[in-house]
Amino acid sequence: MHSKVIELRAIEFNKTLIGLSFEQAAVLIALEIESLKKRYTLSSARSALGAYRKTASKELKPLFAVTKDEQYQIERNYNKKIVEKSNAMEQIDMSGLIKTAVGLLDSSKVSEVICALALLTGRRLAEIVCTIKLSATATPNKAAFVGQLKKRENETNGYEIFILSDFAKIKEAANWVRTKAGDLTAQQGYRKYSNAAAAACLQHFEKYLGYCSTHDLRKAYAAIIVHLYKPKSVSQNAFLSKNLGHSDSDLTTANVYQKYFV
């Protein structure tokens, strides 16, 4: 599915609805949705409908959606794939990973400190480079984090995260990276440091994780905090969604981070 093609098709289609009654528009929208479902997979058709909603009138936006049953089918298929993938979860050396990351906090290379912070705080590369702000909490193994790039509902003042080493050293390293990086947008920061951080990740963490990226360090962090801190009464998905900063209503994204176990 080519997004540009869909965007243009959506714009042209919504133009044909101008001047029609709500009932007339609803019939044409239903036919268009059926056409999309015949051309693409159900999940791709659902994604395509987002482009239609962007240029639709306010009253017609809700009509550009798959049915609840189809939504359930998409989620069921997605979860099935995740379960199949999770059967190949890899065991990791928690102590070795943390020890290596802690050692890199004192590195003179920004790329290596980025990797250390990705493992020890679970934050994204662009957050570490451009937006992260940490402050102490009453709990030694936690820090107050502000700088989430993918905002949760009602997320304004940040939230507490688990940290895997001494708070003072982590904060000092995070401040140092931000100072070295300068005033960059998230996109600029990612472009500037992603390649170097990927190389540093392989150099220092491949022996633990195999071929890996900084995003895999976030996944390793997820496995470690589940092992150390997840209450028995809380599901793994709910625990990870809260600590990784996912939407309160989105418990399936956490599946992606279940690549490793301790």
- Give the pLDDT score at 251: 45
Q: Per the structure block, which two tokens stand in for 228?
A: 């150390």
Residue pair 221/119 in contact (Cβ under 8 Å)? The answer is: yes
User: Can you list the domains of the chain with their CATH numbers?
Assistant: 3-86 (no CATH), 90-261 (1.10.443.30)
Q: What is the mean pLDDT of residues 99-116?
A: 98
As given in the structure block, the two tokens for residue 50 are: 């987002």
Q: Is the pTM of this model over 0.85?
A: no
Model confidence over 192-208: pLDDT tens digits? Answer: 999 999 999 999 999 99
Dihedral of alpha carbons 16, 19, 24, 27, sign: positive
Q: What is the pLDDT of residues 20-48, one digit of tens each?
A: 999 999 999 999 999 999 998 888 888 88
CA dist., res. 49 & res. 47, Å (int): 5
- Sign of the alpha-carbon torsion through 186, 187, 189, 190: positive
As a whole number of angstroms, the distance between CA 142 and CA 180 comes to: 25
Query: Who wins on pLDDT, 251 or 100?
Result: 100
The average pLDDT across 87-99 equals 88
Q: Could you give the C-alpha distances from 188 to 69, 163, 182, 184, 193, in angstroms and in order?
A: 41, 26, 11, 6, 9
Q: pLDDT digit string (tens) for 7-16?
A: 999 999 999 9
* pLDDT single digits (tens) 206-245: 999 999 999 999 999 999 999 999 998 888 888 888 888 7
